Amino acid sequence: MGEEREVVILGSGCAGLTAAIYAARANLRPLVLAGKMPGGLLTTTTVVENYPGFPEGMDGFSLMSGMQKQAERFGAEVRFGEVESVDLSRRPFALATDDGEVVARALIVATGAGHRHLGLESEGLLENKGVTYCATCDGALPMFRNQPLVVVGGGDSAMEEAMYLTRFGSRVFVVHRRDQLRASKIMADRAKANQKIEFVWNAVVSEVLGVDAGRVTGVRLRDVATGAGRELACAGVFVAIGHVPSTAFLKGQLELDAEGFIVLKGGTRTSIAGVFAAGDVADRTYRQAITAAGTGCAAAIEAERYLAAQA
Protein backbone atom coordinates (compact mmCIF):
# COMPACT_ATOMS: atom_id res chain seq x y z
CA MET A 1 0.00 0.00 0.00
CA GLY A 2 1.21 3.51 -0.81
CA GLU A 3 1.57 6.59 1.33
CA GLU A 4 -1.45 6.91 3.66
CA ARG A 5 -3.40 10.10 4.23
CA GLU A 6 -6.59 11.05 6.03
CA VAL A 7 -7.58 13.51 3.32
CA VAL A 8 -6.28 13.98 -0.20
CA ILE A 9 -7.42 17.00 -2.21
CA LEU A 10 -7.13 16.87 -5.98
CA GLY A 11 -6.62 20.34 -7.47
CA SER A 12 -5.14 23.60 -6.23
CA GLY A 13 -7.57 26.24 -7.48
CA CYS A 14 -9.87 28.22 -5.19
CA ALA A 15 -11.89 25.13 -4.26
CA GLY A 16 -8.93 22.86 -3.54
CA LEU A 17 -6.90 25.37 -1.55
CA THR A 18 -9.87 26.53 0.52
CA ALA A 19 -10.61 22.90 1.32
CA ALA A 20 -6.94 22.56 2.29
CA ILE A 21 -7.10 25.53 4.68
CA TYR A 22 -10.12 24.04 6.45
CA ALA A 23 -8.86 20.45 6.50
CA ALA A 24 -5.46 21.59 7.77
CA ARG A 25 -7.03 23.62 10.55
CA ALA A 26 -8.97 20.48 11.51
CA ASN A 27 -5.56 18.79 11.97
CA LEU A 28 -6.13 16.39 9.07
CA ARG A 29 -2.74 17.19 7.45
CA PRO A 30 -4.24 17.14 3.95
CA LEU A 31 -2.17 16.37 0.88
CA VAL A 32 -3.02 18.61 -2.09
CA LEU A 33 -2.06 17.29 -5.51
CA ALA A 34 -1.71 20.55 -7.42
CA GLY A 35 -2.72 19.15 -10.83
CA LYS A 36 -2.12 20.35 -14.38
CA MET A 37 -2.54 24.02 -13.62
CA PRO A 38 -1.25 24.84 -10.12
CA GLY A 39 -3.37 27.65 -8.69
CA GLY A 40 -6.20 26.91 -11.13
CA LEU A 41 -7.93 29.08 -13.69
CA LEU A 42 -7.61 32.27 -11.62
CA THR A 43 -3.87 32.33 -12.23
CA THR A 44 -4.69 33.02 -15.88
CA THR A 45 -6.67 36.18 -15.15
CA THR A 46 -5.28 39.63 -14.49
CA VAL A 47 -7.34 41.45 -11.91
CA VAL A 48 -10.04 39.65 -9.97
CA GLU A 49 -12.59 42.34 -9.20
CA ASN A 50 -15.39 40.33 -7.66
CA TYR A 51 -13.68 38.44 -4.87
CA PRO A 52 -15.07 39.98 -1.67
CA GLY A 53 -12.65 41.80 0.57
CA PHE A 54 -10.47 43.38 -2.11
CA PRO A 55 -12.16 46.67 -3.02
CA GLU A 56 -9.48 47.59 -5.56
CA GLY A 57 -9.30 44.08 -7.02
CA MET A 58 -6.49 41.59 -6.63
CA ASP A 59 -4.33 39.89 -9.21
CA GLY A 60 -5.28 36.24 -9.63
CA PHE A 61 -1.79 34.89 -9.13
CA SER A 62 -1.29 36.70 -5.79
CA LEU A 63 -4.71 35.61 -4.57
CA MET A 64 -3.88 31.97 -5.27
CA SER A 65 -0.35 32.05 -3.86
CA GLY A 66 -1.82 33.66 -0.72
CA MET A 67 -4.31 30.80 -0.41
CA GLN A 68 -1.54 28.24 -0.79
CA LYS A 69 0.63 29.89 1.89
CA GLN A 70 -2.35 30.06 4.21
CA ALA A 71 -3.05 26.33 3.74
CA GLU A 72 0.63 25.47 4.28
CA ARG A 73 0.81 27.58 7.43
CA PHE A 74 -1.75 25.25 9.01
CA GLY A 75 -0.03 22.05 7.89
CA ALA A 76 -1.31 21.26 4.40
CA GLU A 77 1.22 19.78 2.00
CA VAL A 78 0.87 21.06 -1.55
CA ARG A 79 2.67 18.79 -3.97
CA PHE A 80 3.19 19.18 -7.70
CA GLY A 81 1.68 16.18 -9.35
CA GLU A 82 -1.35 14.72 -10.97
CA VAL A 83 -3.60 11.81 -10.30
CA GLU A 84 -3.63 9.33 -13.18
CA SER A 85 -6.33 6.92 -12.03
CA VAL A 86 -8.31 6.12 -8.91
CA ASP A 87 -9.83 3.01 -7.38
CA LEU A 88 -12.79 4.13 -5.32
CA SER A 89 -14.07 0.60 -4.79
CA ARG A 90 -11.30 0.04 -2.23
CA ARG A 91 -11.12 1.53 1.27
CA PRO A 92 -9.03 3.51 1.80
CA PHE A 93 -9.32 4.91 -1.71
CA ALA A 94 -6.33 4.19 -3.93
CA LEU A 95 -4.89 6.96 -6.08
CA ALA A 96 -2.27 6.33 -8.72
CA THR A 97 -0.27 9.53 -9.19
CA ASP A 98 2.62 10.36 -11.49
CA ASP A 99 4.79 9.94 -8.39
CA GLY A 100 3.52 6.64 -6.95
CA GLU A 101 0.46 5.44 -5.07
CA VAL A 102 -1.32 7.38 -2.32
CA VAL A 103 -4.21 6.05 -0.29
CA ALA A 104 -6.80 8.31 1.28
CA ARG A 105 -9.61 7.74 3.77
CA ALA A 106 -11.46 10.75 2.37
CA LEU A 107 -11.08 12.38 -1.01
CA ILE A 108 -11.98 15.89 -2.15
CA VAL A 109 -12.10 16.30 -5.92
CA ALA A 110 -11.50 19.90 -6.96
CA THR A 111 -9.92 19.36 -10.36
CA GLY A 112 -11.90 22.16 -12.01
CA ALA A 113 -12.48 22.46 -15.71
CA GLY A 114 -10.38 23.05 -18.78
CA HIS A 115 -11.15 25.08 -21.89
CA ARG A 116 -13.39 23.41 -24.47
CA HIS A 117 -11.68 23.08 -27.84
CA LEU A 118 -13.27 23.35 -31.28
CA GLY A 119 -11.87 19.94 -32.11
CA LEU A 120 -10.23 20.90 -35.43
CA GLU A 121 -6.90 19.47 -36.49
CA SER A 122 -5.69 22.90 -37.62
CA GLU A 123 -6.66 24.31 -34.21
CA GLY A 124 -4.34 21.85 -32.48
CA LEU A 125 -1.50 22.48 -34.92
CA LEU A 126 -1.71 26.26 -34.40
CA GLU A 127 -2.17 26.28 -30.61
CA ASN A 128 0.18 28.93 -29.19
CA LYS A 129 0.85 30.06 -32.77
CA GLY A 130 -2.16 32.32 -32.77
CA VAL A 131 -4.80 29.95 -31.39
CA THR A 132 -5.39 30.55 -27.69
CA TYR A 133 -8.00 29.95 -25.00
CA CYS A 134 -7.21 32.93 -22.79
CA ALA A 135 -7.24 36.54 -23.94
CA THR A 136 -6.04 37.87 -20.61
CA CYS A 137 -3.02 35.54 -20.76
CA ASP A 138 -2.06 36.09 -24.39
CA GLY A 139 -3.92 39.12 -25.76
CA ALA A 140 -1.06 41.54 -25.22
CA LEU A 141 1.45 39.51 -27.25
CA PRO A 142 3.09 41.51 -30.07
CA MET A 143 1.73 39.09 -32.71
CA PHE A 144 -1.82 40.32 -31.99
CA ARG A 145 -1.12 44.09 -31.89
CA ASN A 146 -3.10 46.11 -34.43
CA GLN A 147 -4.22 42.95 -36.18
CA PRO A 148 -7.73 41.64 -36.83
CA LEU A 149 -8.63 39.02 -34.22
CA VAL A 150 -11.39 36.41 -33.99
CA VAL A 151 -13.20 35.35 -30.84
CA VAL A 152 -15.35 32.21 -31.09
CA GLY A 153 -18.38 31.86 -28.80
CA GLY A 154 -21.49 33.69 -27.68
CA GLY A 155 -21.34 33.49 -23.88
CA ASP A 156 -20.07 35.86 -21.21
CA SER A 157 -16.52 34.58 -21.64
CA ALA A 158 -16.56 35.41 -25.36
CA MET A 159 -17.89 38.92 -24.63
CA GLU A 160 -15.26 39.49 -21.96
CA GLU A 161 -12.48 38.24 -24.20
CA ALA A 162 -13.68 40.34 -27.15
CA MET A 163 -13.86 43.52 -25.08
CA TYR A 164 -10.43 42.91 -23.58
CA LEU A 165 -8.96 42.29 -27.03
CA THR A 166 -10.19 45.62 -28.39
CA ARG A 167 -7.26 47.14 -26.47
CA PHE A 168 -4.82 45.37 -28.75
CA GLY A 169 -6.40 44.27 -32.03
CA SER A 170 -7.36 46.51 -34.95
CA ARG A 171 -10.78 44.87 -35.08
CA VAL A 172 -12.36 41.98 -33.15
CA PHE A 173 -14.77 39.60 -34.89
CA VAL A 174 -17.03 37.53 -32.65
CA VAL A 175 -18.02 34.37 -34.50
CA HIS A 176 -21.12 32.76 -33.03
CA ARG A 177 -23.02 29.71 -34.23
CA ARG A 178 -26.47 31.25 -33.68
CA ASP A 179 -28.03 34.67 -34.23
CA GLN A 180 -28.53 35.27 -30.51
CA LEU A 181 -26.02 35.52 -27.73
CA ARG A 182 -26.01 33.34 -24.66
CA ALA A 183 -24.21 36.08 -22.73
CA SER A 184 -25.93 38.06 -19.96
CA LYS A 185 -27.67 41.21 -21.15
CA ILE A 186 -25.21 43.60 -19.55
CA MET A 187 -22.19 41.90 -21.16
CA ALA A 188 -23.95 41.54 -24.53
CA ASP A 189 -24.99 45.22 -24.53
CA ARG A 190 -21.46 46.35 -23.71
CA ALA A 191 -19.97 44.24 -26.49
CA LYS A 192 -22.57 45.38 -29.03
CA ALA A 193 -21.89 49.02 -28.16
CA ASN A 194 -18.16 48.61 -28.74
CA GLN A 195 -17.26 50.06 -32.16
CA LYS A 196 -14.27 47.77 -32.56
CA ILE A 197 -16.35 44.59 -32.24
CA GLU A 198 -18.15 43.07 -35.20
CA PHE A 199 -20.45 40.06 -34.86
CA VAL A 200 -20.46 37.25 -37.41
CA TRP A 201 -23.73 35.41 -36.82
CA ASN A 202 -24.74 31.85 -37.68
CA ALA A 203 -21.17 30.88 -38.43
CA VAL A 204 -18.73 28.23 -37.28
CA VAL A 205 -15.00 27.99 -37.80
CA SER A 206 -14.40 25.00 -40.05
CA GLU A 207 -10.63 25.47 -40.29
CA VAL A 208 -7.95 27.68 -38.83
CA LEU A 209 -5.70 28.89 -41.64
CA GLY A 210 -1.93 29.25 -41.51
CA VAL A 211 -0.63 25.77 -40.77
CA ASP A 212 1.98 26.05 -43.54
CA ALA A 213 3.02 29.52 -42.40
CA GLY A 214 3.37 28.26 -38.81
CA ARG A 215 1.09 31.03 -37.50
CA VAL A 216 -2.58 31.92 -37.76
CA THR A 217 -3.40 33.87 -40.91
CA GLY A 218 -7.17 33.55 -40.88
CA VAL A 219 -10.17 31.29 -40.41
CA ARG A 220 -12.44 29.49 -42.82
CA LEU A 221 -16.06 30.06 -41.82
CA ARG A 222 -19.14 28.05 -42.67
CA ASP A 223 -22.57 29.64 -42.58
CA VAL A 224 -24.70 27.17 -40.62
CA ALA A 225 -27.90 28.22 -42.40
CA THR A 226 -26.71 28.17 -46.02
CA GLY A 227 -23.57 26.04 -45.80
CA ALA A 228 -21.66 28.75 -47.67
CA GLY A 229 -17.96 29.05 -46.87
CA ARG A 230 -15.73 32.11 -46.73
CA GLU A 231 -12.39 33.16 -45.33
CA LEU A 232 -11.70 35.88 -42.79
CA ALA A 233 -8.14 37.10 -42.32
CA CYS A 234 -6.92 37.37 -38.73
CA ALA A 235 -3.77 36.95 -36.65
CA GLY A 236 -5.39 35.32 -33.65
CA VAL A 237 -8.23 32.96 -32.79
CA PHE A 238 -9.48 33.16 -29.21
CA VAL A 239 -11.68 30.17 -28.46
CA ALA A 240 -14.21 30.91 -25.69
CA ILE A 241 -16.84 28.19 -26.06
CA GLY A 242 -17.11 27.03 -22.48
CA HIS A 243 -15.34 24.55 -20.29
CA VAL A 244 -15.09 20.81 -19.89
CA PRO A 245 -14.80 19.36 -16.37
CA SER A 246 -11.52 17.58 -15.65
CA THR A 247 -12.98 14.22 -14.69
CA ALA A 248 -11.68 11.73 -17.29
CA PHE A 249 -9.85 9.83 -14.54
CA LEU A 250 -13.16 9.31 -12.68
CA LYS A 251 -15.09 7.61 -15.48
CA GLY A 252 -16.63 4.37 -14.25
CA GLN A 253 -15.65 5.20 -10.65
CA LEU A 254 -18.00 8.02 -9.68
CA GLU A 255 -21.36 9.18 -11.04
CA LEU A 256 -20.83 11.84 -13.70
CA ASP A 257 -23.46 13.54 -15.84
CA ALA A 258 -23.56 13.42 -19.64
CA GLU A 259 -20.98 16.22 -19.91
CA GLY A 260 -18.68 14.80 -17.27
CA PHE A 261 -19.61 17.02 -14.31
CA ILE A 262 -19.64 15.19 -10.97
CA VAL A 263 -23.20 14.55 -9.80
CA LEU A 264 -23.76 15.83 -6.27
CA LYS A 265 -25.95 14.01 -3.78
CA GLY A 266 -26.65 16.88 -1.42
CA GLY A 267 -24.02 19.38 -0.28
CA THR A 268 -20.66 18.32 -1.69
CA ARG A 269 -21.36 14.59 -1.34
CA THR A 270 -20.96 12.39 -4.40
CA SER A 271 -22.22 8.92 -5.34
CA ILE A 272 -19.50 7.39 -3.14
CA ALA A 273 -19.43 7.99 0.62
CA GLY A 274 -16.16 9.66 1.58
CA VAL A 275 -15.66 11.32 -1.80
CA PHE A 276 -16.59 15.01 -1.98
CA ALA A 277 -16.54 17.42 -4.90
CA ALA A 278 -15.97 21.18 -4.88
CA GLY A 279 -15.69 23.99 -7.41
CA ASP A 280 -16.12 23.96 -11.19
CA VAL A 281 -15.81 20.16 -11.44
CA ALA A 282 -19.37 19.90 -10.13
CA ASP A 283 -20.76 23.33 -10.97
CA ARG A 284 -22.63 24.09 -14.20
CA THR A 285 -24.22 27.22 -12.85
CA TYR A 286 -22.07 29.69 -10.94
CA ARG A 287 -18.40 28.97 -11.70
CA GLN A 288 -17.10 31.86 -9.67
CA ALA A 289 -13.98 32.03 -7.51
CA ILE A 290 -16.02 32.72 -4.40
CA THR A 291 -18.50 29.90 -5.00
CA ALA A 292 -15.59 27.52 -5.62
CA ALA A 293 -13.99 28.65 -2.36
CA GLY A 294 -17.34 28.23 -0.58
CA THR A 295 -17.85 24.67 -1.78
CA GLY A 296 -14.19 23.89 -0.96
CA CYS A 297 -14.89 24.94 2.61
CA ALA A 298 -18.06 22.84 2.68
CA ALA A 299 -16.27 19.78 1.28
CA ALA A 300 -13.58 19.97 3.98
CA ILE A 301 -16.19 20.25 6.73
CA GLU A 302 -18.11 17.30 5.29
CA ALA A 303 -14.90 15.24 4.97
CA GLU A 304 -14.01 16.01 8.57
CA ARG A 305 -17.45 14.87 9.77
CA TYR A 306 -17.31 11.76 7.59
CA LEU A 307 -13.93 10.78 9.08
CA ALA A 308 -15.13 11.48 12.62
CA ALA A 309 -18.14 9.21 12.05
CA GLN A 310 -15.85 6.40 10.80
CA ALA A 311 -13.54 6.56 13.80
Q: Which residues are catalytic?
A: 134, 137-138
Q: By CB under 6 A, name the one of 41, 48, 241, 277 that touches ligand NAP.
A: 241
Query: Least distance from C-beta 239 to ligand NAP, angstroms?
Result: 8
Query: Least distance from C-beta 139 to ligand NAP, angstroms?
Result: 15
Asked if 192 is part of the footprint of ligand NAP (rule: CB under 6 A), the reply reads no
Q: By CB under 6 A, name the one of 25, 79, 171, 177 that touches ligand NAP.
A: 177
Asked if 139 is part of the footprint of ligand NAP (rule: CB under 6 A), the reply reads no
Note every long-range contact of 225-233, with CB atoms under 8 Å and residues 24 or more positions apart, other chains counting: 232/148, 232/150, 232/173, 232/175, 232/200, 233/148
Asked if 287 is part of the footprint of ligand NAP (rule: CB under 6 A), the reply reads yes
Interface region with ligand NAP, contact rule CB under 6 A, candidates 56-64, 126-134, 135-143, 176-184: 176-184
Asked if 220 is part of the footprint of ligand NAP (rule: CB under 6 A), the reply reads no
Distance CA 268, CA 303 (A): 9
Interface region with ligand NAP, contact rule CB under 6 A, candidates 51-59, 69-77, 218-226, 239-247: 239-247
> If 0-12 CB within 10 Å is exposed, 13-18 middle and 19+ buried, where does residue 157 land?
buried
Instruction: Give 23's DSSP letter.
Output: H
Q: By CB under 6 A, name the one of 140, 242, 260, 271 that touches ligand NAP.
A: 242
Query: Least distance from C-beta 160 to ligand NAP, angstroms?
Result: 5
| C-beta closer to ligand NAP: residue 116 or 171 | 116
In terms of DSSP bridges, do strands 243-245 and 93-97 run parallel, antiparallel, or are they unpaired? unpaired
Contacts of 252 (CB under 8 A, 6+ apart): none
Query: Least distance from C-beta 161 to ligand NAP, angstroms?
Result: 9
| C-beta closer to ligand NAP: residue 45 or 271 | 45
The kind and range of the H/E element at 69 are helix 60-73
Interface region with ligand NAP, contact rule CB under 6 A, candidates 22-30, 192-200, 212-220, 237-245: 237-245
> If 0-12 CB within 10 Å is exposed, 13-18 middle and 19+ buried, where does residue 258 land?
exposed
Distance CA 260, CA 241 (A): 16
Report 74-113 residues binding ligand NAP (CB under 6 A): none
Asked if 160 is part of the footprint of ligand NAP (rule: CB under 6 A), the reply reads yes
Exposed e or buried b per residue across 280-301, where buried means at least 16 C-beta atoms within 10 angstroms of its C-beta: bbbbeeebbbebbbbbbbbbbb
Q: By CB under 6 A, name the one of 204, 272, 301, 307 that touches ligand NAP.
A: 204
Distance CA 128, CA 130 (A): 5
Partners of 100 in the β-ladder:
97, 98
Phi-psi region of 286 (alpha: psi -120 to 50; beta: other; left: phi over 0): alpha
For ligand NAP, the binding residues (CB under 6 A) are 116, 118, 152-158, 160, 177-178, 182, 184, 204, 240-243, 287
